[in-house]
Amino acid sequence: MTAVSRKVLARALAAVFAVALAVFIIGPLAWLAVRAFADSWTYPNLLPDGWTLHWWEVVFRDRSLGIAVQNSLFFAPLTVLVSALVCLPAAYAFARFEFPGRRFFLIGLFAANAFPKMGLFVSLAALFYAFNLMNSILGILIVHVLGTVVFMTWIPAAAFAAVPRSLEEAARDAGASKLRVFFSVTLPMALPGILVAAIMSFLASFDEAQGTYLVGAPDYMTMPTQMYSLVLNYPTQVAAVFSILLAIPSVALLLAAHKHIVGGQLAEGFQIK
Amino acid sequence: MTTGLHTGSGAPARPAPAASGPVQPDAPGRRRPAGGSARAGQARGFVMALPPILIIALFIGVPIVLAFGFSLGFTGGLNHTIALIGQNVHEAQGLPTFGAYGDMFADRRFLGDLIVTVVVTLVSTAVVVLLAVAIGLYLKFADGVIAKALSALAVVPLFIPVVIASWAILGFYSADGFLRSVAAQFGVDFPVWSFTMVTVIIGSVWTSLPFATLLVTSGLQAVPRAMIDAARDAGASFARVVASVVIPMAGVPIVIATTFTAIGILGSFTVPYFTGPNSPNMLGVDMSNYFSAFNQPQQAVVMAFVVFAIASGIAAVYVWANFRSAKENAGKQAVR
Amino acid sequence: MTSNPTLSRAASHAADSATAPASDGAASDGAPRTGGAPRTGGLDIKGLTKVLGGRTIIDSLDMAVRPGELVSLLGPSGCGKTTTLRMIAGFLTPDSGSIMVGGREVVHLGPEQRPSAMVFQNYALWPHMTVAKNVAFPLRLRNRPRLSKAVIAERVDAALALVNLLHHKDSRPARISGGEQQRTALARALVQEPQLLLLDEPLSNLDAKLRVKVREDIREIQQRLGITTLIVTHDQEEAMSMSDRIAVMNQGRIEQFSTPAELYSAPATEFVATFVGSLNRVEGRIEEGRIVAGGGVLGIRPEDVAFVEDGDSGSSADAGLPATVERVVPRGHFAELTVRREDAVLRSFATGAPPAVGARGRAHIAKWLEFEDGKLVRKGSA
């Protein structure tokens, strides 16, 4: 009897916790989303005074906001591509070869995440000034790629390492060349991990604001950096509309890759082996 | 194994290893001494792993060395341009100067912000890890609607750009925000949290939660069911099972989650910039101000190194935890 | 709800059928005397039922294990033996039925409250604790009365000495061999002084040589302590060599519950006959040494088929029917022959120098089992 009532109590506590978490996580987003369609809003009403699509018009008309969208959609895929070219071979090497300095390299990669971001960007400035990378596309690209190196190396490395060697050997034994084995056995099996890495990199680039602002502003504004000035210079509703636009690609990716990310591909990558 | 390292396929063939199986026509690939191919693998692995390392070395290693020199007043070479542009730059006359460090440590506001940064990092990290462990434990021991809801909720922030999150949180806890509006319906005057350190902590927790939850949850899931059953069979209560078996066995992922969370919050800019007060605020905001608004890059770099010093302590814990787990794994494999 | 009143130490010294619970519904038993003096309680299961996902995994199972007895639950994978064990240990809640250990109903208790201790299939040793800490853990949990550090250390040493592992006290589980891990898990179970010891496939992760040694060790320790023990296994050799009695399970039911010898010589069902030992299964019946159509199913053990090559003299040289050797598989100290008679193809065990393939002679069936509707109806011999 007491065991049953204790179970019920535990479930009730868990439900309360879940509702609190929902308010904590979703509440601010929902509150912001409503604002995008709000005419005006009088405190302390829980709903706006009236509804309008006016703010969407403002955003779509504004050229500078459009350019920010374009810039973001330019940098994010480019970052993923460059990062993949640089990092994926390394990921394979970490998973499959034993070479001198391997462990040192792995720890070295960690350095990219061990330095708090803002400090790192401030330190980068001298180099960027010296090589004229300030306010340049290449400069922004470097900042973005730096933020993805860890994802692009560690997560695919764990995915490659998880492919059993015996499967590769079986394909070799069946007469496949090394290259053929890689493309028809290893790569397909590691693909979910690589996909997660690509998505995380895309989001990291899409989300990058501090470094882009320091290096690119005001010449190159991406969507997140545009938000900095938007918040100061426009009505709150415009920022709300812009926020929704900025969240669309992310949420689409969330729905597409939710299973793999929650499935541990991400977590696997963060343990040095 | 190491004696024939230098031979290629042309050398007098060693007898093929007994394990090479049925005779195959493409003998050369197999007949090559094991040492030779291992060495080729080593070289190839090294070359393939090099590009990201070079990028890190070039754009993190070099700048940090440069910046350290700059903070000590070495303004020549690659530091020349930034020293020209910046104001209030202390130059070393042969010996390093601690002028910029002196500027900062004499500044009460900097010291206050340093304390605030450390406190926010500690509090937020503690809350994040506690939440992550609570969610992870619930997912480990229960399933159903609540478990599904918790796991879905916890990853949402991963997909919301930090800028939006900060802005949304600011509005939610503002003077005319949701919490105050709801409280007002009941005639309660709820405090305004926006532009205080409370929202900075809330924002830090909000943005750091998914990553920590994913790491911790996967670590907890990896604890085999039989280990928990064995503890219960031995007479352990649920709390004891968690404290003595589940948490210690997931210790490494929890430490990793803690260090990543702490370093992330320590260097954050967007959350405190949007949601925090003008003063005192976190060092990320100060760095940006000194760098851009005040045009004092040397002082900004000094702050960066203070933050690095704190972070390196955290990073050391991470590396230690990883080596410990690698050692345990090596032991396991040796037995098998 | 008949409880078992005969569970005192004195009564259980007389380890014969008189101490068996009256409700013992399984087949007749004639358990051999076990060496040690049983000091722990028996196990009495009645009407145990478990339904998972609409499928009845365990179907109204009854079983009684006498104090001090070692019983194996033997069956193919998926027969429900592990489910049964997990219900006895408390990790699964049965849908109905009763589980009594030492005369006390435990079905409503959690695993931590039950007087049983389990050795897990993969040993489930906690990797972050040393061997000694693993063994000490159950004792550190005791709080009525709480044990002092000295007492715990003493008991841990005693348990480790019992399994001959004192020298690995401070090793981590990952650093010791599979057999040593197994013994650590055994020590961790024994240190709890359980009334009932449960072992889940205890030998399945050991290599063949070690397996024989470990099963002798387990049997020896079990006899010395006289501890009531239930072993789940799919390996008939393991069950035959260790157990006082064996319960053969199939599809959630016990097909037969008796001594190894009886299981082999008088299998109650066709399933038991095929699962335990080798068997020639032929449809038909035997008339004057010849298999003819009709009747039920014949079960003939290979050792009961004698092949005598032409020209050899022997007691049964002219018994049986003419036969040809089709296949010879050496099995070490004997050979398995496949011989073709005019009425059937039979496997036969031959000791001594085996005949060559193609050799002609006579094959004689000395003993057989007759099954109808899967049940044993007659034992025949010529």
A15 touches chain B (CB under 8 A): yes
- CB contact under 8 Å between B138 and A14, yes or no, is yes
Residue of chain B with shortest Cα separation from C134: B231
What is residue B93's DSSP assignment? Answer: B
**Among A46, A123, A261, beta carbon nearest to B301:** A123
B214, A269 in Cβ contact below 8 A? no
Beta-carbon separation of B234 and C90 below 8 A: no
Separation in Å, CA of A67 to nearest CA in chain B? 18
Spatial strand order of the sheet with C245-250 comes to C116-119, C196-200, C228-233, C70-74, C245-250, C253-258
Residues of B in contact with A28 (CB under 8 A): 165, 168-169, 171-172, 178, 206
Number of domains chain B is built from? 2
Query: In the prediction, which pLDDT does A2 show?
Result: 64
Helices (H), chain A: 2-35, 54-61, 63-96, 102-114, 117-130, 137-146, 149-161, 165-173, 178-181, 187-207, 210-216, 223-233, 236-260, 266-268
Residues 183-202 in A contacting B (C-alpha not used; CB under 8 Å): none
Judge whether B80 is closer than 8 Å to chain C, CB to CB: no
Q: What pLDDT band is residue C239 in, cutting at 50, 70 and 90?
A: very high
Instruction: Report the C-alpha gap between C9 and C103 in whole angstroms.
Output: 13
Q: Render pLDDT for C302-322 as a digit per residue (tens, 0 to 9).
A: 999 988 888 776 655 567 888
Amino acid at A131: F
Q: Residue B226 is nearest to which of C113, C116, C124, comparing CB atoms?
A: C124
Rounded Cα distance between C32 and C34, Å, is 6
CA distance A205 to A258: 19
pLDDT at C7 over 50: no
Residue C325 and residue C241 share a domain: no
With respect to residue C346, please indicate whether it lies within any of the assigned structural domains: yes
CA-based end-to-end distance of chain A: 48
Partner residue opposite B215 with nearest CB, options A92, A206, A267: A267
Minimum mean pLDDT range among A88-92, A169-173, B196-200, B226-230: A169-173
> What is the average pLDDT across A63-85?
89
From CA B52, how far away is CA A83, in angstroms rounded? 9
Q: Kindly indicate the confidence band of residue B331, based on its pLDDT and cuts at 50, 70 and 90.
A: very low
Q: Return the residue of A nearest to B271 by Cα.
A: A210
Closest Cα partner for B146 from A25, A261, A17, A27?
A17
Rounded-to-integer distance, Cα B250 and Cα C128, Å: 10
Alpha-carbon distance C298 to C308, whole Å?
22
Where do the structural domains in chain A lie, given as residue ranges?
A: 1-52, 64-270
Nearest CA in chain B to A45: B181
Q: Do both B65 and B209 map to the same domain?
A: no
What ipTM is given for this predicted complex?
0.85
Residue with more model confidence, C18 or B186 = B186
CA distance C331 to chain B (A): 26
Q: Do B232 and C91 count as a contact with CB atoms less than 8 A apart?
A: yes
Residue A221 near chain B (CB below 8 Å): no
Whether residues B161 and A267 touch (CB distance < 8 A) is answered with no
C174 to chain B, any CB pair closer than 8 A? The answer is yes
Residues C255 and C337 in one domain: no
Q: Both tokens of residue C371?
A: 């099954």
- Strand partners of residue C73: C232, C247
Asked whether B220 and B137 are in contact (CB, 8 A), the reply is yes
Per-residue model confidence as pLDDT tens digits over B9-36: 333 333 333 333 333 333 333 333 344 5
- Cβ–Cβ of B164/A35 closer than 8 Å? no
Of A110, A207, A267, the CB nearest to B161: A207
Q: How far is the alpha carbon of C173 from chain B, nearest alpha carbon, in Å? A: 9
Q: How far is CA B320 from the centre of its chain?
A: 14
| Residues within 8 A of B (CB atoms), A 244-273 only | 246-247, 250-251, 253-254, 258, 261-262, 264, 266-268, 270-273
For residue A164, give every residue at least 6 positions away whose Cβ sits within 8 Å of its Cβ, in sequence order, or none: none
* Residue among C73, C192, C196, C181 nearest C122 (CA): C181
Q: CA–CA separation, C365 vs C319, rounded Å?
A: 9
Asked if B226's CB is within 8 angstroms of C128's CB, the reply is: no
Segments forming the whole domain that contains residue B86:
56-97
pLDDT value of residue B190: 85
Binned at pLDDT 50, 70 and 90, residue A264 comes out as low
| Whether residue C137 sits in one domain with residue C44 | yes
Copy the structure tokens of residue B191: 């405090």
The span from the CA of A251 to the CA of A236, in Å, is 22
Q: For residues C320 and C289, is the Cβ–Cβ distance under 8 A?
A: yes
Q: Give the type of residue at C371.
A: F
Task: Say yes or no: B231 and B84 in one domain.
Answer: no
The residue among C205, C240, C265 that closes a domain is C265
B328 shares a domain with B227: yes
Domain holding C283, by residue range, is 278-381
Residue B123 sits in the same domain as residue B64? no
Least confident segment among B108-117, C9-18, C270-279: C9-18
CATH of the domain at C202: 3.40.50.300
Give the other-Cβ count within 10 Å of A22's Cβ. 16
The backbone torsions φ and ψ at residue A3, rounded to the nearest 5 degrees and listed phi first, read -65, -40
The string of DSSP letters for B305-335 reads HHHHHHHHHHHHHHHHHHHHHHHHHHHHHHH
C-alpha span between C146 and C140 (Å, rounded): 8
pLDDT band at C250 (very low <50, low <70, confident <90, very high): very high
Q: Does B311 sit within 8 Å of A31, measured CB to CB?
A: no
Q: Are A209 and B164 within 8 A, CB to CB?
A: no
- Does a structural domain hold residue B11? no
C90 touches chain B (CB under 8 A): yes
Q: Are residues C232 and C306 in the same domain?
A: no
Q: Are residues C329 and C286 in the same domain?
A: yes
Q: Amino acid identity of A201? A: S
Q: Say yes or no: B259 and B122 in one domain.
A: yes
Beta-carbon count within 10 A of A37 CB: 18
Q: What beta strand segments (E) does C196-310 contain? A: 196-200, 228-233, 245-250, 253-258, 280-287, 290-300, 305-309
- Give me the residue label for tokens 């009564």: C11
Residues of B in contact with A43 (CB under 8 A): 175-176, 180-181, 184
Do A163 and A185 contact (CB within 8 A), yes or no?
Answer: yes
Nearest CB partner across the interface for A127, out of B63, B260, B263: B63
Nearest to B38 by CA among B88, B65, B4: B4
Contact A247 B164 (CB under 8 A): yes
Residues C232 and C329 in one domain: no
- Across the range A200-218, mean pLDDT stands at 84
Cβ contact B209:B157 at 8 Å: yes
Q: Is C335 left (phi over 0), alpha (psi -120 to 50) or beta?
A: beta
Kindly state whether residues C261 and C287 are assigned to the same domain: no
Using an 8 Å CB-CB cutoff, list chain C residues near B332: 127, 174
Instruction: Give pLDDT tens digits for B172-202.
Output: 998 888 888 888 888 888 888 888 899 999 9
Q: What is the DSSP letter of B68?
A: H
Which of A1-5, A265-269, C82-86 is the least confident region?
A265-269
Are A162 and A92 in contact, with CB atoms under 8 Å apart?
Answer: no
**Closest CA in chain C for residue B227:** C124
Closest CA to A261 of A203, A195, A191: A195
Asked if B118 and B91 sit in the same domain, the reply is no
Measured between beta carbons, which residues in chain C are less than 8 angstroms from residue B232?
90-91, 110-112
What is residue B34's predicted lDDT score, i.e. its pLDDT? 42
Distance CA A240, CA A37 (A): 9
Residue range A64-270 in CATH 3.30.70.930:
no
Of the three residues B33, B66, B97, the one that is the final residue of a domain is B97
Residue C200, strand partner residues: C232
The residues, ordered by sequence, that sit 6+ positions from B114 with a Cβ below 8 Å of its Cβ are: B283, B306
Of all helices (H) and strands (E), which one includes residue C13? helix C9-13
Q: What band does C242 get if pLDDT is binned at 50, 70 and 90?
A: very high
- Residue B99: phi and psi, rounded to 5, are -55, -50
Q: Which of C22, A113, A203, C294 is nearest to B52 (CA)?
A: A113
From the list C121, C127, C138, the residue facing B234 with the nearest CB is: C138
Query: Do C6 and C19 meet the contact criterion of CB atoms below 8 Å apart?
Result: yes
Q: Which two tokens stand for residue C236?
A: 């008939």
Give dist(CA A219, CA A210) in Å, integer.
15
C196 & C81 share domain: yes
User: Residue C209 has what pLDDT?
Assistant: 85
Give me the residue from A35, A43, A116 closest to B307, CB to CB: A116
Residue contacts between A and B (CB atoms, under 8 Å) = 321
Sort out which chain B residues have CB atoms less than 8 A from A146's CB and list them. Answer: 55-56, 59-60
Chain B residues whose beta carbon lies within 8 Å of the beta carbon of residue C117: 233-234
Best of B5, B44, B125, B160 to substitute, by most chain A Cβ atoms within 10 angstroms, is B160
Residues B289 and B166 in one domain: yes
Residue B250 lies in a domain: yes
Give domain status of residue C270, yes or no.
no
Residue A192: is the preceding peptide bond cis (ω within 30°)? Answer: no
Closest Cα in chain B, distance from residue C126 (Å): 6
**Which chain B residues are within 8 Å of C89, Cβ to Cβ?**
229, 233
**B238-286: per-residue pLDDT in tens?**
899 999 999 999 888 898 889 889 988 988 888 998 888 887 888 888 8
Q: Are B151 and B217 contained in the same domain?
A: yes
Assess whether pLDDT exceeds 60 at residue C2.
Answer: no
User: Are A130 and B146 inside 8 Å of each other by CB?
Assistant: no
Q: How many other CB atoms are there within 10 angstroms of residue C356's CB atom? A: 9
Question: What is the distance between the alpha carbons of residues B82 and B112, in angstroms, rounded to a whole number?
Answer: 28
| C121 contact B CB<8A | yes
C47: three-class secondary structure by DSSP: strand
Residue C372: which CATH number?
Answer: 2.40.50.100
Determine the pLDDT at residue B24: 32
Enumerate residues 6+ apart whose C-beta is below 8 A from A39: A48, A49, A50, A51, A52, A54
Domain identity same for C246 and C202: yes
- Of the candidates C144, C83, C155, C136, the one whose C-alpha atom is nearest the C-alpha of residue C113 is C144
Same domain, C100 and C146: yes
* Residue C271 covered by a domain: no
Inter-chain touch C120–B226, beta carbons under 8 Å: yes
Q: Are B204 and A116 within 8 A, CB to CB? A: no
Percent of chain B with pLDDT over 90: 21
- C117 → closest Cβ in B226, B233, B331: B233
